């Protein structure tokens, strides 16, 4: 039965992780996988999360199924935290479904879209998160790519983006990163978001927004602003939200699908359909992460403690980014116009190999680095290594 299976191509980032773990040099630096690390290089549990877990441990009386739609209070609190006072939320024109992480939200949103409109195509700017295209293809959607990133300028190729909108067919899906673009960090300006929303409306496209890094760039509501604008301008939108980064809940698989529809009845239909799709995908989402988020967001003190921690994370990232941008490395100054965890270095494959072999510094073969892997203890060594492998 399995004779015809051939192993899938190796995921470059997983391979980087494997090589990093196998390296026994003490001063090795991991700039690969996209997790936030603190100033000591550790993935820590946020204090607000620890406190919420303590409360849950005391109060939880059972571990029954929570249903395919998940925890409705978690969904409401999360949606209202990201999009406070959003009219269509109050008018119940958004379907909210808890999912296993942002990945589950993205998959479920595409399943729903494919069910509604099987011939829709997903228009994707490249490079993008490595899971975006394979997931769409697994759902049966054809992907059409365009150039998102102009590597010469380090900015979004906005002309290519608008041309992709113009070439799409009504009903096609248009993938966007709500903030902190992965892997490039390159973002649209507010006027560009406005122009894009108008173009999507005119072309009758449905945005699929991947909002995985809210709070990691300029603040929770600021980072959700572009997504909010799309929800306000367009009659339909699919939003995949992850709590992995903003709450540091990577292993708890916590996320939410939000679907904007044109009426309460249609939003209800979307929710019911998404729940029935979820039933056959994972039956029920895991409870613990969403219970943590619900506990935090329903308590004013815990909520402000969590916001303060998120603020400190954001400030640390901005500090590292500013140090890199001012380092004098060719092209580094463009980093100050970008945001989030990621940046693309303009290093050759040979230089990336030399960083690994001679300096124990690991990054994706594309040159993407997770800047959260840098801190006061290792950034000097990182910059010295960059200068050695790629002299100006």
CA separation for the pair 134, 142 (Å, rounded): 10
In 218-287, which residue ranges form alpha helices assigned H by DSSP? 220-223, 225-233, 264-281
Q: Are 107 and 281 in contact (CB under 8 A)?
A: yes
CA separation for the pair 30, 132 (Å, rounded): 23
Indicate which residue of 212, 217, 291, 360 is catalytic.
Answer: 212
By CB under 6 A, residue 123 contacts ligand PLP: no
- 74-89: buried (b, 16+ CB within 10 Å) or exposed (e) per residue? bbebbbebbbeebebb
CA separation for the pair 245, 34 (Å, rounded): 9
Answer yes or no: 245 catalytic. yes
Position among 98, 103, 338, 375 found at the interface with ligand PLP (CB under 6 A): 103
Q: How many residues form the binding site for ligand PLP (CB under 6 A)?
A: 13
Indicate which residue of 30, 210, 223, 287 is catalytic.
Answer: 210
Indicate which residue of 114, 245, 364, 372 is catalytic.
Answer: 245
Q: Is 128 helix (H, G, I), strand (E, B) or coil?
A: coil
Q: Are 127 and 136 in contact (CB under 8 A)?
A: no
Q: Are 340 and 217 in contact (CB under 8 A)?
A: yes
Q: For residue 16, which of 35, 32, 27 has the smallest C-alpha distance?
A: 32
* Min dist. Cβ of residue 141 to ligand PLP (A): 17
Secondary structure (DSSP) of 233-250: H-S-EEEEEE-TTTTT-G
Cis bond before residue 20 (omega within 30° of 0): no
What's the chain's Rg over C-alpha atoms? 21
CA separation for the pair 55, 387 (Å, rounded): 49
By CB under 6 A, residue 34 contacts ligand PLP: yes
Which range, of 64-72, 98-106, 150-158, 331-339, touches ligand PLP by CB under 6 A? 98-106
* Min dist. Cβ of residue 149 to ligand PLP (A): 14
Answer yes or no: 150 catalytic. no
Indicate which residue of 30, 48, 105, 129 is catalytic.
Answer: 129
Residue nearest ligand PLP (C-beta atom) = 101
* Min dist. Cβ of residue 216 to ligand PLP (A): 11
Task: Write the burial class of residue 154 (CB in 10 Å: 0-12 exposed, 13-18 middle, 19+ buried).
Answer: buried
CA separation for the pair 295, 74 (Å, rounded): 8
Which range, of 95-103, 188-196, 271-279, 317-325, touches ligand PLP by CB under 6 A? 95-103
CA separation for the pair 344, 199 (Å, rounded): 28
Looking at the Cβ atoms of 30 and 210, the one nearer to ligand PLP is 210
Stretch 237-256: interaction string toward ligand PLP, x if CB under 6 A? -----x-x-----x----x-
Which range, of 16-24, 88-96, 101-109, 271-279, touches ligand PLP by CB under 6 A? 101-109
Answer yes or no: 193 catalytic. no
By CB under 6 A, residue 289 contacts ligand PLP: no
Looking at the Cβ atoms of 148 and 177, the one nearer to ligand PLP is 177
* Min dist. Cβ of residue 341 to ligand PLP (A): 8
* Min dist. Cβ of residue 85 to ligand PLP (A): 26
* Min dist. Cβ of residue 130 to ligand PLP (A): 9
Position among 93, 98, 135, 182 found at the interface with ligand PLP (CB under 6 A): 182
Looking at the Cβ atoms of 135 and 273, the one nearer to ligand PLP is 135
CA separation for the pair 254, 243 (Å, rounded): 5
By CB under 6 A, residue 101 contacts ligand PLP: yes
Position among 210, 236, 339, 364 found at the interface with ligand PLP (CB under 6 A): 210
CA separation for the pair 361, 381 (Å, rounded): 9
Answer yes or no: 364 catalytic. no
Please list the residues that pair with 368 across neighbouring strands.
344
* Min dist. Cβ of residue 217 to ligand PLP (A): 13
Q: Which residues bind ligand PLP (CB under 6 A)?
A: 34, 101-103, 129, 177, 182, 210, 212, 242, 244, 250, 255
Q: Active-site residues: which are they? A: 129, 210, 212, 245
């Amino acid at each position: 039965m399995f004779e015809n299976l051939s192993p899938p191509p190796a995921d470059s980032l997983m391979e980087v992780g494997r090589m990093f773990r196998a390296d026994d040099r003490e001063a090795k630096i991991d700039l690969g996988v996209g997790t936030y690390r603190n100033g000591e290089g550790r993935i820590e549990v946020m204090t607000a999360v620890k406190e919420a877990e303590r409360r849950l441990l005391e109060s939880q009386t059972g571990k029954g199924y929570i249903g395919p739609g998940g925890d409705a209070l978690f969904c409401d609190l999360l949606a209202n935290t990201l999009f406070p006072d959003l009219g269509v939320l109050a008018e119940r024109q958004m379907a909210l479904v808890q999912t296993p992480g942002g990945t589950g939200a993205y998959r479920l949103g595409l399943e729903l879209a494919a069910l509604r409109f099987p011939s829709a195509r997903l228009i994707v700017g490249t490079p993008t998160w490595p899971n975006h295209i394979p997931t769409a293809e697994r759902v049966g959607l054809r992907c059409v790519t365009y150039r998102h990133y102009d590597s010469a300028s380090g900015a979004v190729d906005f002309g290519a983006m608008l041309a992709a909108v113009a070439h799409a067919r009504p009903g096609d899906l248009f993938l966007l990163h709500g903030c902190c673009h992965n892997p490039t960090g390159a973002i649209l300006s507010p006027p560009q978001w406005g122009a894009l929303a108008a173009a999507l409306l005119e072309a009758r496209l449905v945005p699929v927004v991947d909002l995985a890094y809210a709070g990691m760039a300029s603040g929770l509501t600021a980072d959700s602003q572009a997504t909010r604008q799309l929800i306000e301008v367009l009659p339909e939108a699919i939003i995949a939200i992850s709590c992995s980064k903003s709450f540091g809940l990577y292993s708890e698989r916590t996320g939410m699908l939000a679907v904007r529809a044109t009426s309460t009845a249609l939003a209800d239909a979307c929710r019911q359909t998404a729940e029935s799709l979820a039933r056959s995908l994972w039956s029920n989402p895991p409870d613990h992460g969403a219970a943590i988020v619900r506990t935090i967001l329903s308590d004013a003190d815990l909520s402000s403690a969590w916001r303060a921690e998120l603020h400190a994370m954001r400030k640390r990232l901005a500090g590292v980014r500013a140090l890199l941008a001012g380092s004098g490395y060719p092209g580094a100054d463009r980093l100050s116009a970008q945001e989030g965890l990621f940046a693309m270095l303009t290093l050759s494959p040979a230089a990336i190999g030399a960083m690994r072999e001679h300096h124990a510094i690991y990054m994706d073969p594309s040159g993407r680095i997770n800047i959260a892997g840098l801190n006061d203890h290792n950034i000097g060594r990182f910059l010295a290594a960059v200068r050695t492998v790629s002299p100006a």
